[in-house]
Amino acid sequence: MIALDANGADGGPATVAAGARLSGLEVTLFGPASELDGEHVVDAPVKIEGHEEPVRAVRRKPEASIVQAAKAVGEGRADALVSAGSTGPTLAAATVSIKRIVGVHRPALAALIPVPGGPVLLLDAGASVEVRPERLVQFAHMGAAFMESVMGVAQPTVGLLSVGEEPGKGTPEVIEAHAVLSDGPLNFAGNVEGFDLPGAGTRVVVTDGFTGNVALKVMEGSSKTVRGAISEAARSSVVSSLGGLLMRGALGRVRSQFDPERVGGAILVGMRKPVVVAHGSFGPEGIAGALRLARRAVDEDMVGQTATALEAAGALRSAPVGSVEQMTPDSSEAS
């Protein structure tokens, strides 16, 4: 059973419900019952708005759909959480109810980027903004565990995003993480540069949440701008319009190669249960993809594989036995 927050998608609750039906999976929808049908609906009309500060809103609105859905997962009534669009509240609610794997410094938002030959996993895409070498190292292991267990990529190549390929290039934090990863068990490709992100040569690209968020949005913006310029060019004259018409099928295939709906969105790694964040713009197909991604993460025991990989690499934070992990999300986290 997957808990699905029906609020937050640009298309509204009906779009989310259509995605749930399309997936064919067992799903409980949390949202306004008046706009939803089907057997598994928990009436939760309250939503957290985009302008609200996520951590505060989650505390103040225990009846909000995302808070109730996360609670269902935390209490074992559901196996995974899928949100239809808003990263901030999802992250805050998951932090409160689902919690981190013991020994994980910070969860990371791992975004699947649709590129030809990909997808490429970029993490952290904005769960937190602070940079620490030991977090970058954990992100690398968590990202590789996800690609291996859920996406079926054996020994995925892992790169560290920096300003040059040489090990000495980058911030002091990147340089230190590079040294640790070079001696570790991963298929480590060393530093990679911004050029490499859309190239799919490296399957897991590790960076801090600030740089990752900027890089992801620059990619989306650039790809959209170039495609827009090409569409406009196709309308610029009778001859090129005819050309555009003849190329329509081929250009449609290009569009789908870069379509985020194709890959299922982003997954919050480092939590005790899978948490998937779909893109707000997703239609039913994208929502169904996000649900299937969450289902695969459950079935392949992504969480267990992640914990095992972190432990085997000696990358877990040492904590007193029996201590309860508590986390205060950064108030500055990405929305």
Question: Restricting to residues 154-213, which ones interact with its own copies according to CB under 8 A?
Answer: 161-164, 166, 168-172, 174-175, 193-199, 207, 209-211, 213
Binding segment for its own copies among 56-64, 76-84, 236-244, 299-307 (CB under 8 A)? 236-244
Our CB check for its own copies shows the closer of 97 and 223 to be: 223
User: 134, 135, 142: which is closest to 158 by C-alpha?
Assistant: 142
Size of residue set near its own copies by CB under 8 A: 71
Residues 213-232 that bind its own copies (CB under 8 A): 213-227, 229-230
CB of 10 to its own copies, least distance (A): 15
CB of 167 to its own copies, least distance (A): 11
Binding segment for its own copies among 25-33, 143-151, 254-262, 321-329 (CB under 8 A)? 254-262
CB of 207 to its own copies, least distance (A): 7
Residues 313-332 that bind its own copies (CB under 8 A): 331-332
Q: 306, 142 in Cβ contact below 8 A?
A: yes
CB of 67 to its own copies, least distance (A): 21
Q: Which of 234, 259, 296, 308 binds its own copies (CB under 8 A)?
A: 234
Beta-carbon count within 10 A of 213 CB = 23
Our CB check for its own copies shows the closer of 157 and 223 to be: 223
Q: Which of 179, 182, 246, 311 binds its own copies (CB under 8 A)?
A: 246
Q: Does 242 bind its own copies (CB under 8 A)?
A: yes
Residues 37-66, mask of contacts with its own copies (x by CB under 8 A): ----------------x-------------
CA–CA separation, 252 vs 322, rounded Å?
Answer: 54
Q: Does 115 bind its own copies (CB under 8 A)?
A: yes
CB of 84 to its own copies, least distance (A): 19
CA–CA separation, 253 vs 82, rounded Å?
Answer: 28
Burial degree of 20 (CB within 10 A; 0-12, 13-18, 19+): buried
Question: Angle at the Cα of 153 (from 151 to 154), degrees rounded to 5?
Answer: 140
Q: Phi, psi (5° rounding) for residue 190? A: 80, -160
CB of 82 to its own copies, least distance (A): 22
Cα distances (angstroms) measured from residue 131 to each of 25, 52, 108, 215, 233: 38, 25, 12, 15, 42
What is the CB-side half-sphere exposure of residue 312 using CA atoms within 13 A? Answer: 12
Checking DSSP bridges between strand 2-5 and strand 27-31, what pairing results, if any? parallel
CA–CA separation, 185 vs 197, rounded Å?
Answer: 22
Residues 123-152, mask of contacts with its own copies (x by CB under 8 A): ---x--xx----------------------
**Structural Rg of the chain based on CA atoms:** 20
CA–CA separation, 12 vs 16, rounded Å?
Answer: 7
Q: Does 30 bind its own copies (CB under 8 A)?
A: no
